Amino acid sequence: MKVFYCIKAMRYLPLVIILFIKQKILHDKESAKFSYDIASFHSSILKLMVVRPYYATLCCYRLKIYRWPFTIFYSYPIYFRNNMDLASGLKLEHPHGTHLNALSIGHNLHVAHNVTVGNDFKGSIPTIGNNVTLGCGSCVLGG
């Protein structure tokens, strides 16, 4: 079983290397938010991405990396709006089918699966505040 996890972890290695360069060498503030996002799990980044692959998608968003080259190695159905102001502390719990399309999202957002945050039929987009929990099947539409 350990061999399986080692092989699975190798596919996230390029992403972890880019994260390391942006955090430690370039001192990128957006990539530093990713460390705060995963701080509550008390495990290595590679182990977290193997057990919870949707954090690789969040890492791509934090690093401003176009995800397509990495979908060869992994893919998870979660959507983040481009240029969304996403504060640190995002906690994802099996966010299958989740769409986060807000103007901005505050600190410590906890998201379950099948959550939709997006625009209404008038085109207005919501803003999510600090310390918010969106449970299973939640829909936040319009602003």
- Quote the pLDDT of residue 31: 84
Cα(62)–Cα(52) distance, integer angstroms:
16
Q: pLDDT digit string (tens) for 25-49?
A: 888 888 888 888 888 888 888 888 8
Global model pTM greater than 0.75:
yes
In the chain, the percentage of residues whose pLDDT exceeds 90 is 21
Cα(111)–Cα(67) distance, integer angstroms:
21
Cβ atoms 137, 114 nearer than 8 A? yes
Q: Is pLDDT at 110 greater than 80 in this prediction?
A: yes
Q: Is pLDDT at 109 greater than 80 in this prediction?
A: yes
- Quote the pLDDT of residue 72: 55
Taking the C-alpha atoms of 110, 37, 116 and 69 in order, what is their torsion angle to the nearest 10 degrees?
-160
* Confidence bin at 115 (pLDDT 50/70/90): very high
Q: pLDDT digit string (tens) for 58-99?
A: 888 888 876 655 555 555 678 888 788 889 888 888 888 888
- Quote the pLDDT of residue 128: 94
Q: Is pLDDT at 135 greater than 90 in this prediction?
A: yes
